[in-house]
Homo-oligomer: A and B are copies of this chain.
Amino acid sequence: MGTRREISELPPEADLARADSLAREIFSDVANKWAFLIIEFLGQGMMRFSELQREIGGISHKMLAQNLRMLEQNGLVERTVHATVPPRVDYALTEAGQALRAVVDGMCGWTQRYLGHIEESRRRFASRERP
């Protein structure tokens, strides 16, 4: 065997260590705050565009549309258009989306649990600056 190759005998595509892998590309797409927030809130169930925008405070129309399209392309979100007037468009998580939602839920829980810890850590860090 080689010197220290325990980690990956993965196909190059799936290897996160490689900057040009598909896995990295997916990480770059999905591991961002807007995508996570959309997935988290969509986890509550099917929602309309405007509902989502109301739920996720501070997200702009543009960012919501853009990230929804990205998630749709990657097959995490399904878009359903109702031929009514005014138009009604529903968004829901696919199976892949729901699987990722479990991860995002984990991060939400982590955030709650370590909120105080992080706050304190920041304070300590700030106060020992310019010693």
Tell me the A residues contacting B by CB distance below 8 Å: 7, 10, 13-14, 16-20, 22-24, 26-28, 30-33, 36-37, 40-41, 44, 55-59, 72-75, 96, 99-100, 102-103, 106-108, 110-115, 117-122, 125
| Chain B residues, CB < 8 A from A117 | 75, 96
Query: Do A121 and B75 have beta carbons less than 8 Å apart?
Result: yes
Known: A37-B27, A44-B7, A112-B23. Is A118-B103 also a contact (CB below 8 A)?
Answer: no
Chain A contact residues: over half helix, strand or loop, or mixed? helix
Chain B positions within 8 Å of A24 at CB level = 33, 57-58
Instruction: Indicate which residue in B14, B40, B103, B115 contacts A107 across the interface (CB closer than 8 Å).
Output: B103
A40 engages B16 (CB within 8 Å)? yes
Return A101 CB to nearest CB of chain B, in Å. Answer: 10
The answer to whether residues A17 and B55 also contact, given A27-B37, A72-B125, A111-B27 and a CB cut-off of 8 A, is yes
Report if A114-B96 is in contact (Cβ < 8 Å); known contacts: A57-B19, A121-B74: yes
CA distance in complex: A120, B75 (Å):
9
